[in-house]
Amino acid sequence: MPLTYDQMKTELTRFKIPAIGAVVGKLSEIRAAALVSAAIARAHPRDYRKRLNALGGDQFWLLPSSLHNESSSISGTITQLVNDHLFPVDEFWLDEEGMDFREDATLHLGLYQHRISYDEFTDMVSTDPSELSDYAGFPLMACLLGGWLDEDLDRFWTMYNKRFRWGIPTAPHLPGRDHYLSLKVFHKELKRRGIAPLYTMFLAIDGSTGNIFFDFDYETDMPPAIGLETLDYLQREWKRSQLIARECDQAFDLITTDPQIYIKFRDAYQASLRKRKAQ
């Protein structure tokens, strides 16, 4: 039965006028939903409607009443759609109470964990070697050869050689700053020794693969702002990252199966050093 005039007036008085900040926040969330929907439609044109079903699960998410909620399940849904259909999102932001596009218009990517920052390196060398993962042997050697340790190289090299069975008891004496590592030659030297995947792993550790999912650094880089072109770019980068990830997996296999792997890597590194031209 239709409501009487008095009943309608009573119902209308229950609505609160939202603050301008709440309205702007809601519009920002709607914009994020529209951009993600468009990006999924571009990436999956054949079945994008099916992929977006989750967005229509809550029939009341656009109503004024949702403006007053402290958290928004819709931001969580948008984030999950990105993670499931475009590219991975940092696990923390998959919590519906963590990601809120009403306040934060940036994207928090789920990154590969191969990159080693200087702070992480110093944490590694200050940790008891017995507590380090077996996979730490390769990044430690790469960083030591790269000159990341200013002093006491011989002691640390001897310690890690014993821990990770490098087979190189004496630290190599590398030329100084008048030499540089030629990446082109290095790649050839590694390939000649049958360990080419270690080149990709070396770049991943250094954060220089050219792929954002391997190279992004939250300590120094700003998270990308949500936008259609950005979403398209990140979706393409995620696809491209799969080849890099496979090569890193191959490198891990070599590290765990080839007993001469560290010696080969050391020899390839030394063979790829070139003298700088005089200024």
Percent of the chain with pLDDT over 70: 86
DSSP state of 52: T
pLDDT at 94: 80
Average pLDDT over residues 64-80: 71
φ, ψ of residue 147 in degrees (nearest 5): 85, 25
Q: Has residue 23 got a pLDDT over 80? A: no
pTM: 0.85
DSSP state of 17: P
**Alpha helices, DSSP H only, in the chain?**
5-12, 20-43, 48-51, 73-85, 118-125, 137-145, 153-164, 183-192, 197-206, 212-215, 228-257, 261-271
Q: How many C-beta neighbours within 10 Å does residue 192 have?
A: 12
Average pLDDT over residues 93-120: 86
- pLDDT tens for 256-268 read 999 999 999 999 9
At what angle are helices 20-43 and 228-257 packed, to 10 degrees? 60
pLDDT at 67: 53
Distances (CA, A) of 273 to 175, 179, 276, 279: 8, 6, 9, 18
Length in residues, the chain: 279
Q: Which residues contact 6 (CB under 8 A, 6 or more apart)?
A: none
pLDDT at 55: 83
pLDDT band for position 1 (cuts 50, 70, 90)? very low
Quote the CA–CA distance of 273 and 72 in Å, as a whole number: 55
